Each structure stands twice: as C-alpha cells, then as structure tokens.
Chains A and B, each alone.
Chain A
Amino acid sequence: MSATIASAAQPRPRPRQSIFRNHIVRAVISIATFIVLWEVGSRLKLPWVGDVPPPTVVLKALVPLLTDQGYWYSWYQSSRRVFTGFLAAMLIGIPFGLAMATSRIFRDITFPVFEILRPIPPLAWVPAAIIFWPTQELSIGFVIFLGAIFTIMLNVIGGARSIDLRFFQAARSMGSSNWDIFRRIVLPGVLPSIIVGCEVGIGITWNVVVAAEMISGGGGAIQSSAGGGLGFFIWSSYIGGSYPLIVVGMISIGIAGYISSSIIRRLGLLVTPWVRVR
C-alpha cells in the first residue's frame, strides 16, 4: 500500500538522521568491540580465550606472510582443489538431477540409493576414498565432490518440481516439442535453484577441503605430505606451535569462502536477470 511519490523537485527533508548510516556505524562499533574484547581477554589470560593469540599479535604475524610465496601457494592449492571438485560436482550433479527430475523411472531407480548415501558425512569417506583412488589428489578431490554434489542435486530436483504446472500446459498448447519444453521451460525454471544449491554447496566445499587437508597433514590418515593448502597450513602451524598463524589461516579461509560464494551469487544474478529485477 504505497501512495504516490511527491514531485521529485521537492526537497527531501528527513526528520531523523539517516538510518543507513546509523546501521553501518553500529556494525563498526560491534566489530570493534569484539576485537577489543578479544585483545583484552587474551592479554589477561582469561580461561579459554587466554590461549588464543591477541589480534595485535596475529596482525604482526600476518604482515610478513603477505609477501611469502608459500602462504599464497597454500591459497592456490586449496582454491584449485575446491574449484576442480566443485566443477566436477556441478558437471555430474546438474545433469543427473535434471534427469531425475524429468524421468520418473530414472528417479525411482536412483533416488533411494542417493537417499541412503546422503546421511553419511563427506569426511567419513576420506579413508575409503584414499583406498580407492590411486593418488592423494584424486581422493581429496573425490571427497570435495561428494560434499557439494548432494546439495546441488537436491536443489535441482526441488527446483524442477516447483515449476508451475501451468507453464508446461501453456507451452504444450502452443505447440512445443518435448525438447523445446526442456530447453525453454525446465532449464530456466530450475536455474535459480541451481544457483542457490551451488552457493550452499561451495560453503560445504570449503569446510571439506580444510578438513581433508588437515586429516592428510596430521590426522594420520595420509602419511605423505599432501602438497599444502590452507588446511595444511593451519595444521602445520598447530604442530609447529605458532598459534598466531593458526588464526591467520582461519581468517584466510574465511575470506576465501566468502569471496567464492559471492562470486557464485554474482554469476548467478548475471544468468538469471529476471530474478534480479523486482
């Protein structure tokens, strides 16, 4: 229930100060308070927080790293793994999900198997993957793939089911062929759900890659070095006792995860312009 907008020429006096600014200010206050509390808590050696290095120390540890090749190589390693595993999950998960959504028989056959595999957490697959795949890299890739594929497939199926029946009827009565309906109704109809699935999936992927690298580094499952990565970076910092670097690693992964999910969101909006406008 909105009423008309008064002519644009009129000045726009606001009775109170801008809410927008207010809310940014509040966010800054909130994060600053958090950092100060962290600093104080760890300096005072409070229980629990006491062993976490204070932010100033973390910052000091971070600065030399910025020019360190090894650190950036870890970024590269993890990102490469996430990217390939995730790409594989998309390449297999999306067509598979679409097939399940469009063919009743295919769904009836494969969905129950898929449902009994789904509750097994991806990381529980790590040892089995190592036994199966010839190289370390492939087994990590496989686990990452597993982490993302279930979410992507579920979203594809759910998205296809939620397409309005009338769209099919309308298309059918205007003379569409099956292929035309698939290409011009089903595909665009599931696209938004695919993007949502990918966004959630990539979050899981970062979780998995960190753990897989850690397990390969120190947990004992994989004895030989797995060739770095941010998870390994954290784990080796822990083994080496350089605690500030643990925090640096965590923040790095947080940033990497955030960047990758916003890239997906951006790309998603690019390919679904009708969702963007509104």
Chain B
Amino acid sequence: MNAPAATGAAAPEQHATKGAIRIQNVDKVYYAREGRVQAVSDCSLDIRAGEICMIVGPSGCGKTTLLNAIAGFHDITGGAIYLDGQMLCGPDKPKAEPGPDRVVVFQNGALFPWKTNLENVAFGPVVQGRMTKKEAAEKARGMMADAGLVGVEHNYPGEVSSGMRRRVEIVRALMNDPKVLLLDEPFGALDSLTKSVMHEALLEIYYRNKVTIFFITHDLEEAIFLGHRVAIMTTRPCKPKKILDVDIPHPRKYNVLTSPRFRSLMEETVSAVHEEAVKAFEAGEKEM
C-alpha cells in the first residue's frame, strides 16, 4: 500500500470519525467509439474522515470518472475503493451501489425541477422510508433555515438564483446524514463573485456538519481556499501527481485569499498545475 504520509499540520478537526475513503490502485478503462480509453490508471488516495479533500486537474482528465466510481455510477476495471474499511467496489464487485451514505452534488445541479425546494430536500428520507412525508418536511424546513434558505421552500428550483439552487442541493444531500459529500465542480458555472459568497456558505455548512468532502474543481484558488488537502491530478490517465497540505487554520474567511501563506501555496500549485494544463490544452487541440 502506498498511502501518502500524513503530515498532520493540516489535520482536519477530528469531530468526525466516519467517512474515510481509501482509493487503492484504481484503474478504469472503457471502450468508446474511438477505441480504448484509459481514464484512470493506478490511482491511490487516502481521504481522512471529516476532511475537505480537493481534487484538482484540467477538465477531461478523468476526475469525474473517479467520483462516479465512488458514487457507484460506473464500474472500475481494477483496484478497490473502501469506505471506513468496508469495500465499496473491488475485484469481485466492480460497481458500488449508490446509496445515501455518499451523496453527489452535480456539476450542473440536479435538483428535480418538478419538485419544490422543500420537496427536493425532503426527498431522500422519504424514499428511503426513514421518515414520513410530514417528518421529513419538518426536518427539511429546519435544515433549510439553518442554511439561510427561508422563504423559498415553496418555490421551484427554476425560480431561484443559481447560487441559491446550489445551496438547496447541498442541504438536500446533508438531509441524509451522509458520511461523504461528493461535489463535482458544483460552482463551476457561477460567476466568480457569486462563487466567493458560495465558498463561505459552504464552509459555514461544513463547520456545522463535519462530513468528509470530496470536492472536484479546476479552480486553484477555490481548491486552496476550501481544502485541508489539495490533490493535483495528472492529465489522462488520472492519478495524483502531488498532494498539498493547506496549513491555513479553519475557520477561513475571504481575506485569507491575500495572506502570504495562501500566496506561497498558490505559487506551488500554479507551477505544478501549469504544465499539466498546457499538456491538456495541447492534447485538446491536437484531437480537434
């Protein structure tokens, strides 16, 4: 096993004991029209319980494939993934079962447009049969209030702003008391100022709920601002190139962005990522 050594400097506050993910030598090959595609190759990564782990890489590098494997949307062709020591998928069982312990927040948002925000948030516990509709609505209302979402319960997602929609979706995920939150570039489509507001909102939610967060992004500033650790991935096939400990204490606010420590981390990341980006950029152009 080649788990990266924990430096401890940026260890997450150890409130959470559940939600450690171990990704072990994962391979993923699929066959597209153009032929054999090696999306992920020999990828190993340990994510500690209760930490925010940021996965950074250029778009199309296979990060989402990794997330899909953890969530159980796709099978893997080699290696294994464990959640708290339990095998999610591995040699005998290539595809994990999607379940409410690992909830995904999607790139373009997946709030059901035909349900009101409240119905969306209450959806999980109701379909799992854990709560009646009424209990779920009660709890949902409480959780939405905690996240500052008051007065939009009976609106449809299409009626509220995109930043608001993302928050509703995160709350919907948290309703299930998940061990892990899997976020797939959730703020990628927002403009940068709304994004900065959303970052602080996400941290707020995180400080109260202490779940493990697996966060995919290609925005370096976002990665360093939010994460305990930042894993920089190589382009095609995807595997960790460098794992960076972000030793800026939580709770963080936007003025962290201009602190010296932040800048030195930023420098380190920029240089590591830049060559990958150029590689991806050029590969993209060649393919065209």
Q: Answer yes or no: B236 CB below 8 A from chain A CBs.
A: yes
Q: Restricting to A13-42, which residues have a CB under 8 Å from any CB of B?
A: 13-15
Question: Nearest B residue to A16 by beta-carbon distance?
Answer: B31
The interface stretch among B34-42, B81-89, B268-276 is: B34-42
Choose from A1, A13, A15 the contact partner of B65 (Cβ within 8 Å).
Answer: A1
Question: In angstroms, how far is the closest chain B Cβ from the Cβ of A18?
Answer: 10
**Is B60 interfacial (CB 8 A cutoff)?**
yes
Mask: chain A, 191-212; 1 = CB below 8 Å from B; 0 = not: 0000000000000000000000
Is A5 a contact of B62 with CB atoms below 8 Å? Answer: no
How distant is the Cα of A15 from the Cα of B31 in the complex, in angstroms?
9
Answer whether residue A67 sits at the interface, using C-beta atoms and an 8 A cutoff: no
Residues from chain A with a CB closer than 8 A to the CB of B63 are: 1
Q: Interface code B207-237, partner A: CB below 8 Å = 1, 0 otherwise?
A: 0000000000000000000000000000111
The answer on a CB contact under 8 Å between B39 and A3 is yes
Query: Are A10 and B36 closer than 8 Å at their CB atoms?
Result: yes
Task: Say how far B55's CB is from chain A's closest CB, in angstroms.
Answer: 13
Chief secondary structure at chain A's binding surface: loop
Interfacial chain A residues near B36, Cβ < 8 Å: 5-6, 10, 12-13
B60 touches A1 (CB 8 A): yes
With a CB–CB cut-off of 8 A, which chain A residues contact B35?
5-6, 8, 10, 12
A223 within 8 Å of B by Cβ? no
Chain A CB within 8 A of B54 CB: no
Task: Verify A2–B38 contact, CB threshold 8 A.
Answer: no
Q: Are A3 and B237 in contact (CB under 8 A)?
A: yes
User: Which among B37, B40, B64, B238 has the highest number of chain A CB atoms within 10 Å?
Assistant: B37
A1–B30 CA distance with the chains assembled, in angstroms? 12
The size class of the interface chain A forms with chain B is 10 to 19
- How far is A3 from B38 in the complex, measured between Cα atoms in Å? 7
Indicate whether A12 sits within 8 Å of B62 (C-beta atoms), given known contacts A3-B236, A3-B238, A6-B36: no
In the bound assembly, the distance between CA atoms of A229 and B84 in angstroms comes to: 75
What's the least CB distance linking A238 to chain B, in Å? Answer: 48
A177: interface (CB < 8 Å): no
B113 vs chain A, min Cβ distance (A)? 22
Task: Give the distance in Å from the alpha carbon of A4 to the alpha carbon of B276 in the complex.
Answer: 14
B283 an interface residue at 8 Å Cβ cutoff?
Answer: yes
A–B Cβ pairs within 8 angstroms, 30 of them: A1-B59, A1-B60, A1-B62, A1-B63, A1-B64, A1-B65, A2-B37, A2-B39, A3-B37, A3-B39, A3-B62, A3-B236, A3-B237, A4-B37, A4-B38, A4-B235, A4-B236, A4-B237, A4-B283, A5-B32, A5-B34, A5-B35, A5-B287, A6-B36, A6-B37, A10-B36, A12-B36, A13-B36, A14-B31, A15-B31
Given A10-B35, A12-B31, 4 more A-B residue pairs with CB atoms under 8 Å apart are A3-B65, A5-B34, A5-B37, A5-B287
Residues of A in contact with B (beta carbons under 8 Å apart): 1-6, 8, 10, 12-15
